[in-house]
Amino acid sequence: MNENTIHGGVKWQSPSNIAIVKYWGKRPGMTQIPQNSSVSFTLSKCCTETSIFYEESDRFGLHFRFDGKENPEFQTKIAEFLKRHIIAFPFLEEMDLHINSHNTFPHSSGIASSASSMSALVMCLLDIEREVKGGIELDRKRASNLARLASGSACRSVFPKMALWGATEAFDGSSDDFAVSLEDQIHPVFKTYHDSILIVSDAQKAVSSRAGHALMDGNPYAEVRYDQAKQHTATLLEVLKAGDLETFCRITEAEAMQLHALMMCSDPSFILMKPNTLRIINALHEFRQETDIPVCFTLDAGPNVHILYPDRDTELVERFIMDELERYCVDGKWIADRVGDGPHKC
């Protein structure tokens, strides 16, 4: 390498997020523009760590490794994203990138990693831009916008605690193009929330979220769903401010059930819940009724159950998980995650 060649290395860790109001359905013909607004908790344990070594070259080059091994599927996804949006990263046109990525959560835990991996990638690319061009402050709005182009829900991972993505009259400054932080808009109790992720199945997703979003186009309940999600967002924003945990539980569970109901009535239809998903939900409802603890569940596009509760109830809820729910998890596996501070440079 010539000593005048521009080169260097950057490394970022970025978390996954779990949606309370779900994004399910894109506007046709647009790049990841949601049909409705969504709200999520940013997590802290389920992260992707990405490092990029960059070096000036006569053309763009990409070498991707996941867990130290070549990974053609991810490599293609990243290459497609960069080629399509090279205009946002003109400095890459004459750059060779060596990307290494790994997840901090267990392999084959059935947890989708596109939000964490794509937000980590974007944070690294913006850091390279800063090093190459100099003097540019980290702009989270821009980072969120670029992460959205790579994978919709990734745009919410850029912010600490909670984020809102999608234009809604209920929140000034909200946008379909990027997420905004809700950190200063929520009652302190929500900053203490835990997300215990119960691994009901560690298999790869049966239906990709890309295919799932596309099936919303012909779904007979689509319009009703988008209206409901908009109402849920508006109510949830009030609830988050007020610290109303009972209504929080009601909206969170209604959203999880609707997401899966939509899958069951698309054509072709699909069921991602497993018998143990339902056993966990029933046991959780009984526990909530008996104890009055404001603990609730949500589901992603898969069978694993996310149990959400404030920090003050950790001891009782974790005991309940160990005594009553672990038996429904693959090899007793669950991840004790909680709300986190967003991406950071390593």
Copy the structure tokens of residue 242: 């007020």
Distance CA 168, CA 282 (A): 34
Looking at the Cβ atoms of 17 and 51, the one nearer to ligand PMV is: 17
- Tell me the backbone φ, ψ of residue 83, rounded to 5 degrees: -65, -45
Q: How far is the CB of 265 from ligand PMV (least distance, A)?
A: 16
CB of 40 vs ligand PMV, minimal distance in Å:
6
Whose Cβ is closer to ligand PMV: residue 96's or residue 300's?
A: 300
To ligand PMV, the closest distance from the beta carbon of 155 in angstroms equals 8
For the CB of residue 177, give the shortest distance to ligand PMV in the complex, in Å: 15
* Binding site residues, ligand PMV, CB under 6 A: 19, 22-24, 38, 114, 151-153, 209, 259, 300-301
Report the residue number, 157 or 276, with the smaller CB distance to ligand PMV: 157
Nearer to ligand PMV among residue 95 and residue 164 (C-beta): 164
Residue 27 parent element (H or E): none
95-103 and 61-66 strand pairing: parallel
Least CB distance to ligand PMV at residue 153 (A): 3
Is the N-terminal amide bond of 268 cis, ω within 30° of 0? Answer: yes
CA neighbor of 13 nearest in space, from 158, 163, 180, 112: 158
List Cβ neighbours of 345 (8 Å cut-off, separation of 6 or more): 10, 11, 12, 123, 127
Instruction: Provide the Cα torsion 110, 112, 113, 114; round to 10°.
Output: 150
Give the integer Cα–Cα distance in Å for 313 and 69. 41
| Cα gap 114→289, rounded to integer Å | 36
Distance of closest approach, residue 63 Cβ to ligand PMV, in angstroms: 25
- d(Cα 182, Cα 241) in Å, to the nearest integer? 10
User: In angstroms, what is the minimal distance from the CB of 220 to ligand PMV?
Assistant: 20
Residues 6+ apart with CB under 8 A from 169: 234
Closer CB to ligand PMV, residue 48 or residue 51?
A: 48
Query: Which residue, 128 or 307, is less far from ligand PMV as judged by CB?
Result: 307
Q: Which is nearer to ligand PMV, 23 or 193 (CB)?
A: 23
